[in-house]
Structure 1
């Protein structure tokens, strides 16, 4: 069975780079044997002292925390990939960007299609095979096909579209008016569904002209675009000349059911929805990008990890390993962050914290939260030092690099939602979650894991909130499992909504990371959901989140962890008292009577059902049949 190798009868211009990657992966788990009588002449053994007592530890291989080079991502061999490296500056607007306020006069154009319009961009579905077979750096070996019209005269005002770059997603553009375009998104690769994430480039525009874009094949009945969310625009000239990056744009924004239908599964017909908006570009003949959320690519992560781990101070308490290889052969990284042996004030085995992200590739907000979390934890503040002294952190920043690379919204190259497959025994089909679960299983066996959290994005609810688990029949544990989210809401009360948090263990979600880790024995097991939109709370009410806002949630997560694990139990006791009062108040509202002291009603019984991260149930076994 072969899922990561190139075809044997082809050569790869990046073979030397890939060979280095493979050697780096192999070097992450060296076989080390140290004889005690060779202590004086070995370089592998480090000696520290706890008082007069020597403490021995093995020196970590350099490859565990440094990059020799940043490897280029691997794509399925069917994918055409443009050679351009896309770089966006990080920038935040000086004032929060408000939600769109509907006028009531927004149009709802129905799909016209290519029969009556002109196709100006159309990419191959990259599914010459119905399942993933193999990959290579740069994807297809053939030349890049011309998919946009060639402008034959200076007055041609047709837009040039492109999406064949890392994390890009646009399948087709049809011109249905002079400045009016119908857009079709590519479904997740090797599936017929999951259209939400878009990210594409446009050129040959005229400044000040109102262009209309209408995406016609969205599959969700609810969307934050109905609650005022605006799309994002990035102008290369604005970035170069004014230092302005991604910002919200658009008027005449409308999300609505259109007249089309699709059959994504088993010939079951589902309705399709449209998102339409108009916008103006700031410059003539600029290069601009439009996106659903702030992009965060696999290459971005690799450059970030390379930068932070090249710092000698950071390398003393942060070890970077390759946890496994994805189906396409991309590295899945894990960081172990803790103060070195001998630097902590107290003895005994440290407790552990596990944080993961980006299991759903289109939820880029999860990566921005993760970067904020790592910035704080790897920083030189006193609070960061306390956390490193107290805990061993295991961090997997990008669980689904393949999906991120190809611009999927939800699935891996197995054509399945990895966050429904943490219980899998199919290591070769779901390597990323299989290795993560087993890493955590080993960790639980050797030390107390006080918290697990997976960072996600949410497509139809505003604010930030958590989904947790509940111990039925144990009211005390049920309240304790709500303490961390309640503390989080107090630390960031203009962004985090405790009222939106849910704590249920649903049968349809048994394969999620949150529930699987909880069943391994991690009492505090959460999914932290960050909206694609913005806040409805406090002084941020009615405004979009920026990358700075999303990264700040990573900082607040660390701050809340300090509160939760404070040796002084005052804050925890206060939260438990508040949670009990909330429960009694809710019972009075629901049942119209007081809750008796000995009443054994479950907290979770009072909660309505939730779709979690707004996904379908498990799709069953993996789609690909590897060759």
Structure 2
């Protein structure tokens, strides 16, 4: 008998019926304290050599239904290697069929990044190099630690570069991106990283939303707050994650800021800057142009043709991290968006855009930062 379960880190799905393997019906589960839904992650047991057909009945009610066109469900037998399962969006439902080779299999919206891996990342980072320290900024609403990695030795004249990831917990590619960046910075033989750390100190928050990540939320924390709309007036009662990081930024200062995310609909890697801010300066404009040109030269997975419109977020604009930081510190500030779909320019249909490709993109951004570090202020 086939059994479906979600009782694990980031598990999320509602089972409507599973008696017939040829017609397993599921529903997306909303975030614990909001109506956002699109993330799913579940385990199927008793499925070896069974032809299974799944239907996500309410896919049309997802936060971003445009994300389903051209999308493929991710699957894994060992939770280490993930592959794409062909999927179809039909009449408001997402459907996929698969005959597993083993007894159990995990399916997910995107390759997950577990809380245990997050903790391992922090522990291994502090032991990997003497120029890395871990600082506990405080606790989340569910009581988890919110941690900051400081990579590099502070000194007069050095730039302060901030990188945060996973404000939206379902965008797990963001923490894979952060992992790649962190590992490159800790590699004593990585020449661009060594050169950067002579000029800058990195402050990295690999997971801004621990509670939402573990709960299996798409966009919100335990209180139902969309953290990337909380930067104007965060509170410890609703959005402590933002309040704690913002406080540290004001203490340390910011010369460059990157906020890693995932986009459901656009099959490209791109950035969104501060052009729509009333305070957007010529200095910021020059930095943005130089950064983008350098990243284009460093990685064929990055592009500038497709992305968001300026002022796309309307009156919410100044509540976004990138816009608030760019305004407050008059610095280079970008939101980095990676796809849930495969990239249209550099597709790999067997695996799609995945954790490893996100890691490599994270490492490559150091080349773009190196190109602008001396002109950040």
Q: Does 1:325 align with 2:134?
A: no
Cα deviation 1:58-86 (Å, max 9, x = unaligned): xxxxxxxxxxxxxxxxxxxxxxxxxxxxx
Q: Does 1 or 2 have the higher relative contact order (CA < 8 Å, sep 6+)?
A: 2
- Aligned equivalents of 1:295, 1:221: Cα separation in 2: 19
Alignment of 1:177-576 (within 5 A): 177-191=20-34, 193-207=35-49, 209-218=50-59, 219-220=62-63, 222-227=65-70, 229-236=71-78, 245-250=81-86, 253-257=87-91, 273-283=92-102, 286-311=103-128, 314=129, 316-339=130-153, 348-380=156-188, 381-444=190-253, 449-470=254-275, 477-493=284-300, 495-502=301-308, 504-505=310-311, 506-537=314-345, 540=347, 544-565=352-373
CA shift, 1:223, in A, is 3.3
Larger gyration radius, structure 1 or structure 2? 1
Q: Secondary structure at the match of 1:278?
A: strand
Question: Is the 8 Å Cα contact of residues 441 and 520 (structure 1) preserved in structure 2?
Answer: no
Q: Deviations over 1:30-80 (max 9, x none)?
A: xxxxxxxxxxxxxxxxxxxxxxxxxxxxxxxxxxxxxxxxxxxxxxxxxxx
Alpha-carbon distance in 2 for matches of 1:549, 1:533: 12
In structure 2, the CA distance between the partners of 1:534 and 1:324, relative to structure 1 (3 Å rule), is same
Q: State the SS of the aligned residue for 1:415.
A: coil
Q: Closer, same or farther in 2 for the Cα pair 1:423/1:220, shift >3 Å?
A: closer
For residues 295 and 177 of structure 2, the distance between their equivalents in structure 1, rounded to whole angstroms, comes to 14
CA contact (8 A) 1:465 1:485 kept: no
Paired with 1:395 and 1:474, the residues of 2 have a C-alpha distance of 25
For structure 2, the 5+ residue unaligned runs are: none
Q: Deviations over 1:314-334 (max 9, x none)?
A: 1x2111010110001100000
Distance 1:441 1:391 in 2: 17
Q: Does the Cα contact within 8 Å between 1:309 and 1:318 map onto a contact in 2?
A: yes
Indicate the residue corresponding to 1:168 in structure 2. 11
Kept in 2: contact 1:233–1:291 (CA 8 A) = yes
CA 1:310–1:542: 2 relative to 1, 3 Å: closer
The size of the alignment, in residue pairs, is 368
CA deviation string 1:105-128 (max 9, x = no partner): xxxxxxxxxxxxxxxxxxxxxxxx
Deviation readout 1:553-603 (Å, 9 max, x if unpaired): 111111111122368x9xxxxxxxxxxxxxxxxxxxxxxxxxxxxxxxxxx
Aligned equivalents of 1:555 and 1:503: distance in 2?
27
Q: Hey, what's the Cα distance between the residues in 2 that align with 1:502 and 1:488?
A: 18
TM-score by length of 2: 0.91
Q: Would the alpha carbon gap of residues 354 and 221 (structure 1) be closer, same or farther in structure 2, given more than 3 Å must change?
A: closer
Tell me: CA distance 1:187–1:221, structure 2 relative to 1, closer, same or farther (3 Å).
Answer: closer
Instruction: Give the direction of change, closer, same or farther, for the CA distance of 1:361–1:527 in structure 2 (3 Å limit).
Output: same
Q: 1:179 aligns to what SS in structure 2?
A: helix
2:37 and 2:218 in contact (8 A); partners too: yes
Provide the secondary structure at the position in 2 that maps to 1:442: helix
* Per-residue Cα deviation, 1:293-351 (whole angstroms, up to 9, x for no partner): 1110222100121122223xx1x21110101100011000001111376xxxxxx3311
Q: CA deviation at 1:248?
A: 1.2
Report the RMSD for the aligned CA atoms in angstroms: 2.3
Deviates more, 1:211-220 or 1:174-183: 174-183
Residues 161 and 514 of structure 1: CA distance in aligned 2, closer, same or farther (over 3 Å) = same
Relative to structure 1, the CA distance from residue 306 to residue 323 in structure 2 (aligned partners, 3 Å threshold; closer, same or farther) is: same
Please state how far the C-alpha of 1:222 moved relative to its aligned partner: 3.4
